Amino acid sequence: MENTRDTKLIFDLSRSGCRGAVLPKCDVPESDVASLLPAGALAEAPPALPEVTEPQVIRHFVNLSKQNMSVDTHFYPLGSCTMKYNPKRNERAAAMPGFAEVHPYQPEETAQGMLEMLFEMQEILKEISCMDACSLQPAAGAHGELTALLVAAAYFRDMGEDRKTVLVPDNAHGTNPASAAMAGFESVTVKTDVDGGVCMDDFRAKLDDSIAVFMITNPNTVGIFEPNMREIADAVHERGGLIYLDGANMNAILGITRPGDFGADMQHYNPHKTFSGPHGGGGPGAGPICVVDKLAPYLPGPVVEMDAGVRGPDSAASAHYSLATPQKSIGKVRAFFSNTGVLLRAYCYIRTHGPEGLRAVSENAVLNANYLLARIRHILPVPQGDRCMHEFVASASKLKSDKGISAMDIAKRLLDFGFHAPTVYFPMTVKESIMIEPTETESKDTLDAFVETLFRITEEDAEFLQNAPHTTAISRPNEVAAARNPCLACG
Amino acid sequence: MNPENLLYAKTHEWVSLADEGGGKVATIGISAFAVEALTDLVFMELPKVGQKVKPHESICEIESVKAVSDLYSPVEGEVVEINEPLPDQLETLSEDPFGAGWVCKIKLDSDSGLGDLMNHAAYEKVCAEEAH
Amino acid sequence: MPYLYNTPDDQAAMLAAIGADSIDALFDSIPGELKLDRPLAIPPALGELELEQHIRDLAGRNLNASSSVSFLGGGSYDHFIPAAVDAIASRSEFYTSYTPYQAEVAQGNLQAIFEYQSLITRLTGLDVSNSSLYDGGSATAEAVLMAVDVTKRRGRVVLAASLHPEYRQTIATYLANLGVDVVTVGASSGTVDVAELAAEVNDQTACVVLQHPNFFGCLEDAETMAQVAHDAGAVMIGVFDPISLGLLKRPGDWGADIAVAEGQSLGTSMSYGGPVLGILACKESLVRRLPGRLVGQTTDRRGKDCFVLTMQTREQHIRREKSTSNVCTNQALFALRATAFLSLVGPRGLRDLANLCLQKSHYLAQQLDGTSRFELAFAAPTFKEFVVRDKENAIEALVADAATEGYLAGIPLGGWYPHLADCMLVCVTEKRTKAEIDALVDVLQTGAAKAAADELIQAGI
């Protein structure tokens, strides 16, 4: 029941004189604006915003919302994004005025509950990482990468070491080399083998004393636990370098192995992935980082400290918390404290699961992924082999050369059957890649239905698939025209 | 221009050399093979007149929807002329890559880089290998 | 576990299909010595009811804008949020979706972002807005990086001392390893002195960053500053308060090339400072250096109008180390909130909103200035915030005492500006009533009286 009338651009719904929100009358003695502000600073008229009523606005956006696929409505096996269920209790918690309406600069004494939650998050993230210190400041995973690299740069500067290179595997997220460049490093690409593991010959050839950091994603982007993790970490440490763990794939290893246990010196988390988000249509996320002891003095401020009392469920109220800036801090990486609303949801998620529950999350995420892999590799080859962690990368390369069906065609056709597409064309190290991450919050029935649909699609006519999807309101936007003559706002 | 009379770089630029005013001037463009491989071009920026360039140095970028490619100078010298209308008529690159689709002219300071260039037959072999 | 589906039978059937003996066997690729041989040392699991009780207990220990009367600003504001904004943002088709890679099943998000970009261009008077960044502070740092990139000037960036101190700190952190100096121009009288600024801007200056209205709430001579920047070939970056644009000239109209803002005021709650909304808009000529995602309008294969992520070659997943930024998401949910908010208030609503803030803050400023204890620190015109000086120099104690009375009176400034240690920043939004404002004046005077009494007692008099 498509409603195209109310989903016209909001500007096209505007009628002069309509209002959606009426503000109260001024209850203080009012002065002429011209007497309060200089004439040169004043606008002739307010900006040309649309003029619409509240019912119009609601109908417009509710109809727009119905044009989206989401975790609450569809299976969303978007590899590398961990699209798991977003618990409703977390949303209720985040909406409480005692969290949502707290001001960042109110006295610490008046925000002790907030500080306790944040302190607990620091402690929990340190334990899951096996690291010594935590900063909740970064606003997203990529921001966490940048922050950690700035910490590393400050550390080496302080040590009097001139290290300018960051090693990044060729199948890493694009954010890794981009973050390295922003932090003032030069990134050097290390090749990976067919199973997605670091090519050790290439690694050894590129490892020298100029290496500041090796940024590694483990499990890696093809869903394999790095086969030479310990050896890589030892070799980098021996040369005085640091290991950064891109924590995008933490959903595979919660309570099973810890980055600090396998040699990482710093890492970020993606709470919007691992700890149930939600993703918000692209954000907000958060990107807290943990680091080993020697890097702790450089963390951005502020961090939460417990300066009195005892931690624990019975004595919580007796504890006292305050904000502090680490001694040699790199400074601030954003205004205010952190994305506390996202961290609170993550806190609720972690507290709902406890230690056994978090381990069960990873176990079931890995079980679901392996089950899908076992069934899908008969339809689409999976170059990495017959096992994976929380996700795997299939290839439509053979299907493309045999029948002319590409990864994109499969992705688009899945939409017709009510499945969100997997991630396609990443990582680029696998041709015609289809990266699938089911997460633990899907049932075997859903996974079976997905496999059967995938099988059916591969049997379909290539030309029909090249025009897919067929049942959605729009199909295959002209991306070339969009990029060649960008229309980024309506006039 | 007849593609068979041009020189080529491994990075798919073509070069046409001519004597002008007592010096050598190289006209630079992108081979038909490369244009096709890039698919659906959406944007390019030109080098600047007066810019000093060296062999294998990136002089400008060409973008398709989901990829960015560098155009590398095959020679050493100074950019003396650019094909100004080209960024607004990207279709010219695929319609006439060896003619109206030229990118810039470089006045050579030395013969540096020329030795690395291939003739048409050798370049065709490189393309045949890359196509696999 | 509340969110897991697999029954023991399912697990057995799945393991059989995989050809594995146990779930543990699926982790065989992790060497035994790297595995954790004990449960994680984190608190035990809580049921939904116990969790809610625990969270309520924590929330109950935070004074907030519902349980107190707040006069705090400094970049995070207690503005009214219409219920319709919450209703829209709590549609889970919006908040449980992700970045709209598959345009066919994300037209809702894509159109909302396109409308957001369009609204921001109208709000700022600039040509292009991205789909949003993390927050005002990091957005300002991104704008500075953009300016350094565009001008190819790596000498210095010039910041006004009246720019939010945490934005200045963020810029300094971002530039720490890039060989660009940060020069700060003082604002001892509450605003930047044009001559002082001009003396610092040279042909190696990438940009000038000015907040207007500034951190102290004062209006700067933005137009003249922009002229100074442009005369030197530098980029002018304007940091603005979206609400102020109901009355004030838009950044694009006073000469900003890039405009950035904290967009929390537009329908997003304060949440202790985050998550919030980084707004960044710029002139058309800078669009290829713009960080963050962009949505564009196009047509589909049947010729139907639609929206799609575009100009992605600027971004990290394609350009990697040469990208404009490492940012790979946006604050889509808050961009949506801002879109709904601006649509609801409309042009007249925004003007009324700005006027209420202006009138009420001036009323409070006058009331405090009329007491014997307080005076306004600066003479420059202000919008919704102002700096007030306690002649008795006991700001921290006053603020703490007022909090115990349920009033969040202001933000002490000494931590950022040592010469303003006896001052606080006070903000009045449309939510504050005359009764609340009058009560604050009383509370501060009683507190002031109490503080004076305490001092006398301590001195043994």
In the complex, which subunits touch C with 3 or more CB pairs below 8 angstroms?
A, B
Residue C449 has pLDDT above 70, yes or no: no
Q: Is residue C35 part of a domain?
A: no
Establish if C298 touches chain B: CB-CB under 8 angstroms.
Answer: no
Residues of A in contact with B66 (CB under 8 A): 425
Residue C128 to chain B, least CA–CA distance (Å): 18
Establish if A425 touches chain B: CB-CB under 8 angstroms.
Answer: yes
Q: Is residue A440 part of a domain?
A: no
Closest CA to C86 of C270, C272, C336, C329: C336
Arithmetic mean of pLDDT, C322-327? 88
Closest chain B residue by Cα to residue A401:
B132
Judgement on whether residues A230 and A125 belong to the same structural domain of the protein: yes
Establish if C285 touches chain B: CB-CB under 8 angstroms.
Answer: no
Q: Is residue A462 part of a domain?
A: no
Judgement on whether residues C275 and C386 belong to the same structural domain of the protein: no
Residue among B38, B39, B41, B42 with most chain A CBs within 10 A, to mutate: B42
Q: Which domain holds residue C418?
A: 69-74+346-458
Surface-to-core class of residue A92, CB atoms within 10 Å of its CB (0-12 exposed, 13-18 middle, 19+ buried): middle
Distance from C-alpha of B14 to C-alpha of B74, rounded to nearest angstrom: 8
**pLDDT band at residue B16 under the 50/70/90 scheme:** very high
Distance from C-alpha of A83 to C-alpha of C101, rounded to nearest angstrom: 14
Residue A26, both tokens: 């001024």
Distance from C-alpha of A132 to C-alpha of A291, rounded to nearest angstrom: 6
Residue C177 has pLDDT above 90, yes or no: yes
Q: Answer yes or no: are the C-beta atoms of A338 and A102 closer than 8 Å.
A: no
Residue C126, both tokens: 């600039």
Strand partners, C406: none
What local confidence, expressed as pLDDT, does residue A429 receive? 87
Closest CA to C42 of A127, A253, A31: A127
Q: Answer yes or no: are the C-beta atoms of C247 and C348 closer than 8 Å.
A: no
Q: Is residue A47 part of a domain?
A: yes
| pTM beyond cutoff 0.80 | yes
Distance from C-alpha of A135 to C-alpha of A122, rounded to nearest angstrom: 7
Distance from C-alpha of A74 to C-alpha of C96, rounded to nearest angstrom: 10
Q: Answer yes or no: are the C-beta atoms of A96 and A450 closer than 8 Å.
A: no
Judgement on whether residues A223 and A326 belong to the same structural domain of the protein: yes
CATH at residue C152? 3.40.640.10
Q: Answer yes or no: are the C-beta atoms of C82 and A20 closer than 8 Å.
A: yes
Q: Answer yes or no: are the C-beta atoms of A438 and A482 closer than 8 Å.
A: no
Place of tokens 């950019």: B79
User: Are residues B43 and A479, on separate chains, in Cβ contact within 8 Å?
Assistant: no
Query: Which residues 176-235 of chain A have a CB within 8 Å of chain C?
Result: 177-187, 224-225, 227, 229-230
Distance from C-alpha of A393 to C-alpha of A383, rounded to nearest angstrom: 8
Q: Element (H or E) spanning C111, and its range?
A: helix C107-124
**pLDDT band at residue C67 under the 50/70/90 scheme:** very high
Closest chain C residue by Cα to residue B66:
C313
Under 8 Å CB-to-CB from A461, ≥6 apart: which residues? none
Establish if C434 touches chain B: CB-CB under 8 angstroms.
Answer: no
What local confidence, expressed as pLDDT, does residue A413 receive? 98
Q: Print burial letters for A322-340: b (CB count within 10 Å at least 16), e (below 16).
A: beeebeebbbbbbbbbbbb
Query: Which residues 42-71 of chain B have a CB within 8 Å of chain C?
Result: 42-43, 63-68
Cα B8 to its chain centre, rounded Å, is 8
Closest chain B residue by Cα to residue C319:
B68
What local confidence, expressed as pLDDT, does residue A124 receive? 98
Judgement on whether residues A203 and A302 belong to the same structural domain of the protein: yes
Judgement on whether residues A321 and A190 belong to the same structural domain of the protein: yes
Taking only the tens place, the pLDDT of each residue in C103-130 is: 999 999 999 999 999 999 999 999 999 9
Judgement on whether residues A290 and A247 belong to the same structural domain of the protein: yes
Q: Is residue A423 part of a domain?
A: no
Please report, for chain B, the start and end positions of each structural domain, with discontinuous segments joined by +: 3-119
Cα–Cα distances in Å, from A15 out to A52, C338, C347, C352? 7, 20, 12, 19
Q: Is residue A447 part of a domain?
A: no
CATH at residue C395? 3.90.1150.10
CATH at residue A349? 3.40.640.10
Judgement on whether residues A94 and A56 belong to the same structural domain of the protein: no
Residue among A479, A485, A487, A488 with most chain B CBs within 10 A, to mutate: A479
Judgement on whether residues C213 and C286 belong to the same structural domain of the protein: yes
Q: Which domain holds residue A324?
A: 89-353
- Of A353, A374, A394, the domain-final residue: A353
Judgement on whether residues C337 and C364 belong to the same structural domain of the protein: no
Q: Answer yes or no: are the C-beta atoms of C241 and C265 closer than 8 Å.
A: yes
Mutual angle of helices C434-458 and C395-404, in 10-degree steps: 120
Cα–Cα distances in Å, from A322 out to A118, A319, C25? 11, 10, 45
Q: Is residue A105 part of a domain?
A: yes
Low-confidence ranges of chain A (pLDDT < 50): 315
Residue among B38, B64, B65 with most chain A CBs within 10 A, to mutate: B65
Q: Is residue C8 part of a domain?
A: no
What local confidence, expressed as pLDDT, does residue B86 receive? 95
% of residues, chain B, pLDDT over 70: 99
Taking only the tens place, the pLDDT of each residue in A433-467 is: 999 999 999 999 999 999 999 999 999 999 999 99
Judgement on whether residues A166 and A233 belong to the same structural domain of the protein: yes
Judgement on whether residues C375 and C404 belong to the same structural domain of the protein: yes
What local confidence, expressed as pLDDT, does residue B21 receive? 79
DSSP-derived secondary structure for C248-311? BPPHHHHT-SEEEEE-TTTT---GGG-S--EEEEE-GGGGGG--S--EEEEE-TTS-EEEEE--
Q: Is residue C53 part of a domain?
A: no
Residue B84, both tokens: 């100004």
- Of A353, A372, A389, the domain-final residue: A353
Residue A481 to chain B, least CA–CA distance (Å): 8
- Of A353, A380, A410, the domain-final residue: A353
Establish if A314 touches chain C: CB-CB under 8 angstroms.
Answer: no
Distance from C-alpha of C168 to C-alpha of A160, rounded to nearest angstrom: 26
Interface size between A and C, measured as CB pairs under 8 A: 698
Distance from C-alpha of C167 to C-alpha of C278, rounded to nearest angstrom: 12
Residues of C in contact with A52 (CB under 8 A): 343-344, 346
% of residues, chain C, pLDDT over 70: 97
What local confidence, expressed as pLDDT, does residue A406 receive? 96
User: Are residues B68 and C319, on separate chains, in Cβ contact within 8 Å?
Assistant: yes
**pLDDT band at residue C450 under the 50/70/90 scheme:** low
What local confidence, expressed as pLDDT, does residue C429 receive? 98
pLDDT, mean over chain C: 95
Taking only the tens place, the pLDDT of each residue in B40-79 is: 899 998 999 999 999 999 999 999 887 888 999 999 999 9
Q: Which long-range contacts (CB under 8 A, 24 or more apart) does C227-234 make?
A: C227/C255, C228/C194, C228/C197, C228/C198, C228/C201, C229/C201, C229/C205, C229/C255, C230/C255, C232/C201, C232/C202, C232/C203, C232/C205, C233/C151, C233/C203, C234/C147, C234/C151, C234/C153, C234/C158, C234/C201, C234/C205, C234/C206, C234/C207, C234/C208
Strand partners, C375: C389
What local confidence, expressed as pLDDT, does residue C319 receive? 84
Q: Count of domains in chain A?
A: 2
- State yes or no: cis peptide before C213, omega within 30 of 0: yes
Query: Which residues 389-428 of chain C have a CB within 8 Å of chain A?
Result: 399-400, 403, 408, 411
Q: Answer yes or no: are the C-beta atoms of B31 and B12 closer than 8 Å.
A: yes
Distance from C-alpha of A407 to C-alpha of B35, rounded to nearest angstrom: 23
What secondary structure letter does DSSP report for B90? T
Residue among A70, A195, A344 with most chain C CBs within 10 A, to mutate: A70
Establish if C323 touches chain B: CB-CB under 8 angstroms.
Answer: no
What local confidence, expressed as pLDDT, does residue C314 receive? 87
Establish if C202 touches chain B: CB-CB under 8 angstroms.
Answer: no
Residue A286, both tokens: 């958060």
Please tell us whether the domain made up of B3-119 is placed in CATH 2.40.50.100.
yes
Q: Is residue A468 part of a domain?
A: no
Q: Is residue A367 part of a domain?
A: no
Residue C446 has pLDDT above 70, yes or no: yes
Distance from C-alpha of A424 to C-alpha of A395, rounded to nearest angstrom: 9
Establish if B67 touches chain A: CB-CB under 8 angstroms.
Answer: no
Q: Count of domains in chain C?
A: 2
Distance from C-alpha of C452 to C-alpha of C461, rounded to nearest angstrom: 11
Cα–Cα distances in Å, from A38 out to A41, A392, A490, B89? 6, 62, 32, 48
Residue B70 to chain A, least CA–CA distance (Å): 18
Residue among C101, C312, C313 with most chain B CBs within 10 A, to mutate: C313
Residue A454 to chain C, least CA–CA distance (Å): 17
Q: Answer yes or no: are the C-beta atoms of A133 and C93 closer than 8 Å.
A: no
CA-CA-CA-CA torsion sign (C452, C436, C386, A32): negative
